[in-house]
Amino acid sequence: MTIRSPSALALSPLALTVLAALSCAGPVLAAGHETEGTAQIDYGPRPAYLIDKLEEGELKDTLTACLGQEPSRSDFSIGHRGAPLLFPEHTVESNVAAARMGAGILECDVTFTADEELVCRHAQNDLHTTTNILTTDLASTCNVPFSPASGDTDAAAECRTSEITLEQFRTLEPKMDSFNAAATTPEESMGGVADWRSTLYSDGATLMTHAESIELFASLGAKFTPELKSASVEMPFNGFSQEDYAQKLVDEYKAAGIPAENVWLQSFNLDDVLYWIGAEPEFGAQAVYLVDHYDIEGWSPMDLETWPASLQSYADQGVQYIAPPLWVLVTTNDAGEIVPSLWAEEAQAAGLNIITWTLERSGPLAEGGGWYFQSIAEATDSDAVYYELLHVLAQDVGVVGVFSDWPATTTFYANCFGL
């Protein structure tokens, strides 16, 4: 696959600032190795830390033997909102960090402002958890104003990009995604960061529009996986329809001259995916259906009778990529070993390309790993399971890409196994 070099782009001041910064080692990755693109690539200490925790055996031996390998970018490694384990998500800095860890594909979750401009946010209604909006004059635009915790009632707020213009959006300061439910003031509500994350690298982070993310990712030598987020407002929005929204996403790649083969559009809405397949077949060929069957009461990846549709039916409609969460793809056998689930086997049988999410979003795994590890909780007792699970996903399930909140872990594995 090809992508335009930075010298072929008319770079904005934002991207030029980033490229200048890339000439020096940043706070995350030191002693990096120059590879394709402009981002220096280095694993940092985390892969070795996880390998040390593995039980003796073939997997540990193989990964240990790769500790001296030259890092290189891999499309198997996907930056989930950048590298939000330590950086504010969907910021320039978070994505530069992910690129420095070798993520070959970077993500901008896409939503829109009041003036229908596309911006990178995980949800249209997350500004109160990901920015400082509640402590600014724009707090008055929040559709649910801040209310303090009182007695058994948690603090609450909801602030949407659709209530502010792009110009107003640019005035906000990003922060680590969190909300202190015990807060009695807006300032206190900005705390509550999980104790296994950090605010060390959150100062001075930079928000992005979707178009700016395209420019940045191209300058870093990475490819693109934007997710069209569900609107929190009723659609059409001031005449802006769901199809307009889906089309505008594609149009910004076309305007930037990005080849369709370098873009994996995503949506939880199957109709969006089918729209792209029909209206923009080159981009639709790699459109990813983010499967949310797990939201259906009683649904199980091990029980065909609970499934709303066969996986073959998606392939029959032209869907070539499908992306469930980690736990949907695996289970444990009688020996307590991690193995592919029935759902994974059916996806393979249908010829679907599988991407999964999200590695390293669970924090320490000593107590079962929470939501992302629910199907293998009995086998999840240490951080070593990150690599044990990744190995099953890559070798037995056959996933083609893994989203991670700290892409170095996945990049190291991909480099070691030639993915």
Across the range 369-376, mean pLDDT stands at 97
* Residues 153, 48 within the same domain: no
Cα(15)–Cα(4) distance, rounded to whole angstroms? 14
- Which of the pair, 27 or 161, is modelled with greater confidence? 161
Closest CA relative to residue 400, chosen from 302, 264, 274, 300: 264
Structure tokens given for 27: 């706070």
Flag the least confident range among 26-40, 45-59, 292-306, 346-360: 26-40
Least confident of 18-27, 38-47, 142-151, 182-191: 18-27
Of the candidates 189, 221, 242, which is a domain's last residue? Answer: 189
**3-state DSSP of 56-115:** CCHHHHHHHHCCCCCCCCEEEEEECCCCCCCCCCCEHHHHHHHHHCCEEEECCEEEECCC
Residue 54 lies in a domain: yes
Helices (H), 326-403: 342-349, 385-392
Same domain, 91 and 216: yes
Q: pLDDT band at 266, cuts 50/70/90? A: very high
Does residue 1 lie within any of the structural domains? no
Confidence of residue 49 (pLDDT cuts 50, 70, 90): very high
Average pLDDT, integer, range 12-17: 57
Query: Do 326 and 286 belong together in one domain?
Result: yes
Domain identity same for 258 and 310: yes
Q: What is the CATH number of the domain that holds 395?
A: 3.20.20.190
State the pLDDT at residue 165.
Answer: 98
pLDDT score for 367: 87
Residue 173 within a domain: yes
Q: Is residue 38 part of a domain?
A: yes
Tokens (6 digits) for 386: 């990150």
pTM for the full predicted model? 0.92
395 DSSP assignment: I
Instruction: Specify the pLDDT at position 13.
Output: 58
Q: Do residues 287 and 237 share a domain?
A: yes
The percentage of residues in the chain with a pLDDT greater than 90, rounded to a whole number, is: 90
Classify residue 180: in a domain, yes or no: yes
Same domain for 395 and 296, yes or no, is yes
d(CA 23, CA 259): 27
Residue 322 corresponds to which amino acid? Answer: I
Question: Does pLDDT of 67 surpass 60?
Answer: yes
**Rounded to an integer, what distance in angstroms lies between the CA atom of residue 223 and that of residue 220?**
9
Peptide bond into 306 cis (omega under 30): no
pLDDT band per the 50, 70, 90 thresholds, residue 3: very low
Domain holding 143, by residue range, is 125-189
Same domain, 213 and 262: yes
* Structure confidence at residue 25 (pLDDT): 35
- In this structure, the number of other CB atoms found within 10 A of the CB of residue 11 comes to 17
Residues 233 and 357 in one domain: yes
d(CA 256, CA 260): 11
In a domain, 119, yes or no: no
Residues 332 and 226 in one domain: yes
Question: For residue 117, is it within any domain?
Answer: no
Element (H, E) at 296: none
Are 358 and 397 members of one domain?
A: yes
Is the pLDDT reported for residue 17 higher than 50?
yes
Q: What is the pLDDT of residue 10?
A: 47
Average pLDDT over residues 345-356: 98
By percentage, how much of the chain surpasses pLDDT 70? 91
- Is 238 part of any domain? yes
Q: Are residues 178 and 296 in the same domain?
A: no
Whether the upstream peptide bond of residue 236 has omega within 30° of 0, thus cis, is yes
Average pLDDT over residues 150-158: 97
Q: Are residues 42 and 132 in the same domain?
A: no
> What confidence tens digit (pLDDT) does each residue in 283-324 have?
999 999 999 999 999 999 999 999 999 999 999 999 999 999
Number of independent structural domains in the chain: 2
